[in-house]
Structure 1
Amino acid sequence: MKEVKKFRFIPILLAVILAVFLLLSSVTTIPAGHTGVVTTFGKVSGTVLGEGLHFKLPFITNVVKIDNRVLKTEVSSSSASKDLQTVNSTIALNYRIGRANSASIYQNIGTDFENVLINPAIQECVKSVTAQFTAEELITERQKVGDLMREALAEKIGPYGFDIEVFNITSFEFSEEFNAAIEAKQTAQQNALKAEQDLARIKVEAQQQIEQARAEAESYRLKNQEITQETLAMEWINKWDGKLPSVASDGSMMFDISDIIAAAGSGKSASAPSTPVAPSAPSAASAAAGE
C-alpha cells in the first residue's frame, strides 16, 4: 500500500513541475533601456515589447532582447594618406539603436551587429577619408577629418537604424621617419620666427640709438654755441686795454659796456664807440645871464 501511494505522488509532482515550467516559460521581463523583439516559430512578428513584465506563448513565441542604451566601440585602423604615409588611427564611437528599429536590425543583421556592420563600416570610412589628406593635413585639420569620417559613417549605418552619438579620433600615429621630419620642420619654423623677432628688436634698438645720438648732438651744438659766445666776449674783454676814447667836450658822455660785450659776442670788431657829438654851445642870452 505504501508503494502504491508513492507511485501516485510522482505524477502529481511531475504535473506541478510542468506547470511551474510552463508558467515561467510564458513570462518574460524586459530590463530598463531594452526592447524585446517577438518571434513566432523563429520568424520576426514585428511586435516590439517595452520595458517590464510580459506574457508569451511557451514553445511558440520567443522574445529577443535588444539593448537600446548608448553603446561604445573602439576600432584601430591602418591606412595610407594622400602622400602615401602610413597612418594608424584609433576611433572611439558611441552609438545607439532606436527603439523603433530594434525589429528590423535583428531581422536584417542579428544581435552581433557590431562585428557585422559597425566596425567594418568604421574601417572603410577611415581609409577613404584618410586618403583625401596628406599626413600633415591630418594633423592640422583633424577636426575637419573627423567630421568627414562621421558623415561617411552616418551614411553607411544610418539607414539600418543606428544613431551616432559621439565620434572621436583618439589618436593618429605615424612612422618614426615622418615624426622626425615634422619635428625638424617645427624646429626650423621656431628658429625662423626667433630670427625675425630678433631682427625687429635690433631695428628698434638701432633706431633708438640714432634718436639718442641726434638728441645728444643737438645738446652739444647748443652748448658749444653758448660757450662760443661767452668765449668771444671774454677774449674781447681780455684784449681791451680798459681805455675809453677821449673827446673834448664840456658836457658829460656815458658808455654802455653791455653794448660793447654784445657787439663782441656777435663777432663785430672790438672798437670803441664812435665819437659822440659834443653838446651845442650855450646861446648869447645864456652867456649874458651868466655875466
Structure 2
Amino acid sequence: MMWILLIFGALLLIAAFVFKYMQEDKIFYMAAEKKEAARKRVGKTVMALVLAGVICLVSSQMVVVIKTGYTGVRTTFGQISDQPVQNGFSIKIPFVQQIETVNNKLQDKTIEDQVWGETANRTAIWYKNIVVSYQIEPEKSAWIFANVADYKESLISNALVSSAIKSASATLQDAEATNRGMIEPAVCKALQDSVNGKYGEGVLHINKVTINEADFEESYKTAIADKQKAQLAYEQQEIENKKNIEKANAEAEANRKLQESISPEVLQKQFLDKWNGEMPKVMDGNTMLDISSFVGN
C-alpha cells in the first residue's frame, strides 16, 4: 500500500511538470489575448497534479500495514512507545514517527556446534545440531525492541542454550541423557527458566528443543564395550559352571544308587558265577580261603 501511494505520487509530480512544459509550447503560439487565460488554466491543472502528488507522497508515509503474525513498535523522534501496534492498518505522523515490525511467529534458532556436558554419573557427553523453537509474546514486542540489542540474532544466544543443556544433562543418568524423550523436555524447561531469569516471565516462550545428535566421549564408549564383553564372558562361564555342576550331581547320584545296589549277597553271587571250582594252586602257610559263606550249608 505504501509503495503504491509513493509511486503514484511520484508519477503525479512528473506528470505535472511534463504537462506544464507541453502547455508552455502551445501558449507561446497563441494570440496575446488568450495567453493569460491559458496560463491560468495550466497553472490550476499543474497545481492540482502537484497537490495530488504531494498528498499521495505524504499518505505513503502515514499508512503502515502490519502483517499477521507481527506487531509494530512505534518510535517518535527515537522515543519508543510501550504500547505495541497490532496487525492491520495503522497511521503514523509522516517524517516524525516510525513503526518497526517484530516477528511474533514461531522461530527457530539452530546451534550446529558440539555442546559438552556431564551426566549425573559425571560421564562426559556431547550434543550437536540443536534446534530451539521459540516465540516472542506480542505484548512484549516493544520491550524486546527497546531493551535487547540486535534481538533478531542475540535473543537466544549460544551461551544460553549451552548452559541449559549442561544443567539438564547433569540431572540425568547415562541411559537417560541420550534418550530424546527425556533430555529434550529437560533442556526445554531449563532454557525457559534461564530466559525467564534474563528477560522476565511472559516475554519469550520456548516451545520445543530438538537435539539431533548426542553421544558419549570415546573413552566412555570403549569402557562400555569392555564391560559388555566382560559381562558376556561372565554369563558364558556361569552357564558352563552350571552344566559342570549338573553333570557332577548326576554322576554322584549314579554312584550313590550303585553303592546302594551292591550288597554282600550280590558280591557272593558274582564270585560264584565267575569261580571255576578250583582252589588256589599257590598259598603260603598263612593264607586260608574260606568259601563256606559262598557255598552255603
| TM, length-normalised to structure 2 | 0.59
Identify the range of structure 1 (124-133 vs 58-67) with the bigger mean alpha-carbon deviation. Answer: 124-133
Q: 1:65 aligns with which of 101, 116, 125?
A: 101
Residue in 1 aligned with 2:67?
A: 31
Among 3, 9, 16, the residue aligned to 2:52: 16
Do the aligned residues in 2 keep the contact of 1:31 with 1:51 (CA within 8 Å)? yes
Equivalences for residues 60-99 of structure 1 within 5 A: 60-76=96-112, 90-99=129-138
Which residues of structure 2 form unaligned runs of 5+? Answer: 1-22, 28-38, 278-292
Aligned match of 1:243: none
Answer yes or no: is the 8 Å Cα contact 1:130–1:138 preserved in 2. no
Larger Rg: 1
Task: Supply the distance in 1 between the matched residues of 2:168 and 2:61 (Cα, whole angstroms).
Answer: 55
Tell me, yes or no, if structure 1 residue 103 matches structure 2 residue 129.
Answer: no
Equivalent residue number for residue 255 of structure 1: none
Q: How many residues align?
A: 232
Deviation at 1:49, TM superposition (A): 2.0
Q: Which residue in the other structure is 1:270 paired with? A: 296
Superposed CA offset, 1:51-99 (max 9, x none): 222333333332211111111112355777689x896855422221111
Question: How far did 1:219 drift?
Answer: 5.1
Q: Which residue of 2 aligns with 1:155?
A: 197
Q: Does 1:206 align with 2:255?
A: no
How much does 1:100 deviate? 1.4
CA distance in 2, matches of 1:23, 1:73: 38
Pair 1:19–1:196, CA change in 2 (3 A): same
Which one of the candidate residues 126, 151, 165 is aligned to 1:113? 151
Q: Indicate how the Cα distance of structure 1 residues 139 and 207 shifts in structure 2: closer, same or farther if over 3 A, else same.
A: closer
In 2: Cα distance, 1:269 partner to 1:139 partner: 81
Superimposed CA distance per residue, residues 98-136 of structure 1 (whole angstroms, 9 cap, x where no aligned partner): 1111111111225x30434422xx3256269759989xx
Is the alpha carbon distance of 1:80 and 1:94 closer, same or farther for their aligned partners in structure 2, counting shifts above 3 Å?
A: closer
Distance 1:77 1:206, change over 3 A: same
Alpha-carbon distance, 1:205 to partner? 0.8
Residue type at the aligned position of 1:191: K
Judging changes above 3 Å, is the alpha-carbon distance between structure 1 residues 28 and 47 closer, same or farther for their aligned structure 2 residues?
same
Identical-residue share of aligned pairs (%): 16
Distance (Å, rounded) in 2 between the aligned partners of 1:148 and 1:24: 45
Task: Extract unaligned runs of 5+ from structure 1.
Answer: 240-266, 272-291
TM-score (norm 1): 0.61
Partner of residue 78 from structure 2, selected from 35, 42, 45: 42
Distance change in 2, residues 1:230/1:69 (3 Å): farther
Letter paired with 2:250: Q
| Closer, same or farther: CA 133–105 of 1 in aligned 2, 3 Å | closer
Q: Match for 1:270: what amino acid?
A: G
